[in-house]
Amino acid sequence: AQSVSQHNHHVILSEAASLELGCNYSYGGTVNLFWYVQYPGQHLQLLLKYFSGDPLVKGIKGFEAEFIKSKFSFNLRKPSVQWSDTAEYFCASDSGAGSYQLTFGKGTKLSVIP
Amino acid sequence: DTGVSQDPRHKITKRGQNVTFRCDPISEHNRLYWYRQTLGQGPEFLTYFQNEAQLEKSRLLSDRFSAERPKGSFSTLEIQRTEQGDSAMYLCASSSPVGREQYFGPGTRLTVT
């Protein structure tokens, strides 16, 4: 069975600090990868996705993620966080084949201090 | 631009009662998914429809749970004889015929007392 691991449960940063959230997936075959964000009181929103091609993908709001196949990783980055980035971030994968079900990590709560 | 909608947003029920939730996907999205999320966890897959066909079901979906999508549009998720362990946020998502990215609704928070 697939699994997705997010290493950090809670990250606290000051505004303008750089962000990197770790994500590792277990599936050894073709995989599609996603980062979702959930702002306080809102529903899950797609930040970015990787299907194939350039391993560095750019998403909304200045976020990017790098797919490193040899490390089974898909870490999320942002060079300079803002208070408005305070949210919970979820990494997810599907098997890339006929199955469309997403497997999510447990999430990382990001708190940005003004 | 209408997103995925879910009804009700909150449901409080007593143990042993049946509950039903509704999900309306983004129009023209042919795939519809149900997930469950408990505190401190990411969403867990329950089941998935392509049009009206239920194509995948998780082992999490016990025989007390049933989902339907009779006309390939909205879907319902019914939980029979609710238990306290069913308390969770139930999320619905949909995706288009040409994409794999899933768009989530606001969820239905179920509390079983």
| Predicted pLDDT of residue B59 | 86
Interface test with B, best of A43, A46, A60, A104 (most B CBs within 10 A): A43
Looking at residues B59-69, what average pLDDT do you find? Answer: 91
Residues of A in contact with B35 (CB under 8 A): 102
Phi then psi for residue B75, to 5 deg, are -130, 155
Q: Cα–Cα distances in Å, from B15 out to A3, A25, B32, B110?
A: 32, 37, 28, 11
Q: What does each C-alpha distance from A26 to A34, A93, A96, B105, B113 come to in angstroms?
A: 14, 9, 13, 27, 37
pLDDT for residue B82: 97
What are the residues facing B91 on neighbouring strands?
A: B35
Answer for the pair A24, A4: CB distance below 8 angstroms, yes or no: yes
Residue B26 touches chain A, beta carbons under 8 Å: no
Residues of chain A with pLDDT under 70: none
